[in-house]
Amino acid sequence: MIRHLPFSALALPLLASSAWAQATPATLKAAAEAVGLNIGIATNSFNVSNSAYATQAKNFNMVVCENEMKFDNTEGPIGTFKYNGGDAVSKFAADNGMKMRGHTFIWHSQSNTAQSAVKDRTSGLKVMRDHITAVGGHFKEKIYEWDVLNEITADGSGGLRGSFWRNNIGDDFGDSAFVIARRAVGENGYLYYNDYGADGVNTKSTSMLNLAKKWIAAGIPIDGIGLQSHLSAGIRKDDISANIKRFGEQNLRISMTEIDIKNATATDWSNLMTACLENFNCVSFVTWGLSDQNSWIGSNCGCLLFSGSSPTPKTNFIQALIDAMGKADPAIVAKRKEFAARKPGSVVGINRANLINTRKSPAGGLLGAASVPVFSVGGNTVVDAMGRNRPIAPNSPWASGLSIIAK
């Protein structure tokens, strides 16, 4: 039966049964490219080295490390960096013409190395600066979208979540993270804030929208919002679409970054894709894993597009996505392509004087990185290379080259 054929064999038989067969490209990747969308999976260095897995992974045009670029996987002990997992996945992406997301710089979880070194505002800013500067500097140019901040909004009533980052640095910790990230990765790479439970219009997503508006007004270099999209059957298309639209009104990109739909039907997949396609600013659609077999929520989740340890496509779900893309409004597709092509920094601009030089010194250190001051909105100090607080003053050597936004 067709469901046991390799995914690449799906194209012709299914195409013939489609009413818009002439216009609809035959594969997931081709259909996504036709509508200006990145379509991706979370993965890891072990899986991409397996040929059966890699064959199916090539049906996508974007990847993200499920764990290997998180804080604890890239830094430990503090000040010692390792990039092997991310490097292997990034090589797989480059070899196969895929884009890559970078997940994630600042999160309260899987960040024990950071947590034990962060004791107050100064040490918190220093740990943040050194991590983003090193990891961002290493992967710069290779990463299309960075999750600078992950899960910083509280559930329920909204507002910031308590975390070791926030509790030590203060409520402006995210401001510094974005500025440091832009300096570290240079002019390429869209900078995101990523969170869960904010897929539809609700208290949490409204709180995130208000935070993003505050950042934009203050010149904090955000480019987009990641909607993790950990969902269950019964997708509410109109609610999700309305939420994406209000971020589009701020010119913010939306990426669905960690999609899994527990016990999904083909209609659920179609509805989630359509919620994205209805909005010009929805640019990436990324599932959190390739096969149910490796899903973080369990191999019986019924939540991804493939199943089994040798990943087997769920052809009805994949076809539902292709069909939804075949029905995309051409006017929105054209607008998405124009919007997606805008450069990183388009929302608030890039202060090129702030970009640091991340060339390697002969000893392997980052030239320039040691003298990067830290910036925060609403604060009245910057932190110098030694982690000392220095007052912001006109022509301060500590603030040289930075745009400081005063209280």
Using CB under 6 A as the criterion, which residues of the chain lie in contact with ligand XIL when the complex forms? 66-67, 150, 196, 228, 258, 296
Could you give the CA distance from residue 332 to residue 21 in angstroms, rounded to a whole number?
A: 20
What minimum distance in Å lies between the beta carbon of 73 and ligand XIL? Answer: 10
Catalytic residue among 66, 68, 75, 258: 258
Dihedral of the CA atoms 242, 246, 249, 255 (nearest 10)? -80
Of residues 133 and 150, the one with the C-beta less far from ligand XIL: 150
Pairing assessment for the beta strands 381-383 and 312-313 based on DSSP bridges: unpaired
DSSP string, 249-307: TTT-EEEEEEEEEET--HHHHHHHHHHHHT-TTEEEEEES-SBGGG-TT-TT---SSEE
Instruction: Give residue 406's identity as a one-letter amino acid code.
Output: A
Residues ≥6 apart with Cβ < 8 Å to 148: 104, 105, 106, 132, 174, 177, 178, 181, 191, 192, 193, 222
Locate 339 and state its tokens. Answer: 């919007």
- State how far the alpha carbon of 204 is from the alpha carbons of 152, 191, 233, in Å: 10, 20, 21
Catalytic residue among 66, 68, 75, 151: 151
What minimum distance in Å lies between the beta carbon of 296 and ligand XIL? Answer: 3
Residue with tokens 């379509």: 39
Locate 48 and state its tokens. Answer: 């991409």
Of residues 60 and 196, the one with the C-beta less far from ligand XIL: 196
Of residues 147 and 175, the one with the C-beta less far from ligand XIL: 147
Phi/psi of residue 194, each to 5°?
Answer: -115, 135
What minimum distance in Å lies between the beta carbon of 44 and ligand XIL? Answer: 9
Catalytic site includes residue 258: yes
What minimum distance in Å lies between the beta carbon of 101 and ligand XIL? Answer: 11
Could you give the CA distance from residue 66 to residue 296 in angstroms, rounded to a whole number?
A: 9
Catalytic site includes residue 151: yes
Instruction: Give residue 43's identity as a one-letter amino acid code.
Output: T
What minimum distance in Å lies between the beta carbon of 182 and ligand XIL? Answer: 21
Of residues 69 and 369, the one with the C-beta less far from ligand XIL: 69
Instruction: Give residue 148's identity as a one-letter amino acid code.
Output: V
Of residues 72 and 87, the one with the C-beta less far from ligand XIL: 72
What minimum distance in Å lies between the beta carbon of 230 and ligand XIL? Answer: 7
Of residues 150 and 281, the one with the C-beta less far from ligand XIL: 150
Catalogue the active-site residues: 151, 258
